[in-house]
Structure 1
Amino acid sequence: MDKKRKFIIGVSIAIGLVILGGGALGFHYHSVKAEEKKQAEAQQAQTKKLQQTIQTYQKEVNAWYTDDKKEGLQKATTEKEITSMESKLKKLEGKEMSVDTAAKLNTLVMDVGYARSMLDAQTKVASLFDKSGALVENAQLESAEKAVNKLKEVKSVFVETQQKRLTEAKNQAKTIEEATNAVNTLYTNDKRETVQSNVTQANYTTAKTKVASIKQAKAKKMLSDALAKVETVLQKQKEVAQQQAEQAANTNDNQTTNDDNATSNGGNKTSSSYSQGSSNGSSNSQAGKSSSSSAKSGSKSSASSGKAKGSSGSSKSSGGNSKSNNGKSGYDNMKPGDRWTVEWEDKGVMESDAGRTWGYGTW
């Protein structure tokens, strides 16, 4: 009887061992299934959370743009916001996700990248102008244009807007360059130290018009100061020219007066000469007649048996009248053929020419 018990107990133990062994296997299988399910649920929760994060980020990025097509940036969009978003997206690298989630993340990354490029281009273009809209000194036109052209294929509307501002900046730069060249031509060199000796009012006016078109205050003042020096030189030239013109006018007036006086004096001299000539003619005629009378008296005196020296004789000719007529000499009214009376005083015989007498007469 005891042996049976032992066998039965042994069998029971064996059966118990078998039952316990089977229970252990069943528990292990059940535990593996539960872990996989737990991991799957955790994965699903992580994916959902990632999708929600991407969606939140996307909404934030969308707010940076002015429209749904993302063709323009809001003025409030800042460098700090973009940098912060780039840091958040970096933390999502290497995470497992579905294809759909990965596509959404890629869209977000592209929108952030475009926003940075647009902000960079927009900032560089804006830096070309001051608050008044004038081109700044040393404007970085080339750098701004390069930044804008990077977006030419993907953000055409944005690029068109920025190109308009670039064109304005280029035009202002051209105006400053042309005005500077125009002012420099008024000087002997680009340092603008000495004004050209042949500077003209026309060239000055052309340069001044170009300078007036400049919007940049600094360039405008610098070139205006240079023009002021030229204006001073032109003013001096004008004063000198005016003085020379006045002197020339005075010289011409004096010359005209002298010519008029010379003409007047020439007429008087001619009249005087004529009068003198007439007087001389009359005198010569009278002298000739006197000489003739003297000769006749001398002949008569010689023929009268040689009258003594110092004797006086008088000879009168008829038909002459030497008396004054109305305050004028009687000889002024004489005509050819008229005669006059000569009172001759004989002075004797000439020593050098024997036989001739000499004397003088009055009439």
Structure 2
Amino acid sequence: MLEVQDIKREVETLSHRLGKTQDYLDIPALSAKIQDLEQLAAQPNFWDNQTAAQTTLQELNDLKSHIQQYHQWKTSLEDTKAILELLELESDPGLLQEAETNVTQLSRELDRWELEQMLSGPYDAEGAVLTINAGAGGTDAQDWAEMLLRMYTRWAEDRGYQVHLSEISAGDEAGLKSATLEITGRYAYGYLKSEKGTHRLVRISPFNANGKRQTSFAGVEVMPILAQSVELEIPDKDLKIDTFRSGGKGGQNVNKVETGVRVEHVPTGIAVRCTEERSQQQNKEKALARLKAKLLIIAQEQRAQEIAQIRGDMVEAAWGNQIRNYVFHPYQMVKDLRTEVETSAITDVMNGELDPFIQAYLRQENQLVESGAV
């Protein structure tokens, strides 16, 4: 348990951080904006354009939540200061514990809020489609892909996101060849975009009778789930659409008719496939939406890099391309090669403890933006 003087120092630090948060939010301007949007929402013709109306209401709710959150933080800090005054008069372990809990929780919430301010990309606030593909390494790589699927599922569920396994292709002997997760929730894409790339595993292979060490790879691709209001026209001549039998569970039509759809953008060679819906039309619509997301992200990133460099599905999941190493043997370590962040708590990482890696990447990218490097 912290001492009173330790908590006082924490309170001073939090007061400074909350002051910076207040300046950043500009509460008077925020309140004026809320009033303007409320007046707009009260107009008789507000719902004539439902898409615009929903966008306005979402912005209004976001602004209100910012002010509400700030006032909650301010109240918590004031309550903690009051507790410290009481502790100056009389020692009370219960009050001391309450004060420590308050500063710990407030610090964590400010950490998360400050991190979210770095998620300012046009699609950072959206949900995410995360695809895992087994790379070099045979059966071990397919097993590794399944391990990553579990890791990302746990990460998302621990953060309160909704997770849907929309597609999976089983491995030949074990694991999986590919899998796609739809992760729904605010800032899912903003956080997970840092995971795009090749992930390398080193371990004693459970599939090798001689117990030899094996290196295997899996590729991760991340795209946003776009709002319906986002528009991108793709000429029909640029699309190649194939259908196939989906296979697996999903209804009586799945194995009898060609409900699965693969859509390729011919100029770039980018392709997506969708099998999770019961009808071909539904799968086609979903595949086109995912293709649109890929093309928009590529257009956004193309300012700094060529398409061949940024396309997740163009990077070979093999030696020399990895963003992160996971070493199970002869020692235990997970190390991100971009930020140099590492940990020996490999079990925690595989159970979804990815935030230290994600946060370090976002802070690094933010520093590069502020310095003008990108």
Question: What TM-score bracket applies, with the shorter chain setting the length?
Answer: under 0.3
TM-score when normalising by structure 2: 0.21
Comparing both structures, which one devotes a greater share of its residues to strand? 2
From the two aligned structures, give the one with the greater helix fraction. 1
TM-score by length of 1: 0.21
Structure index of larger Rg: 1
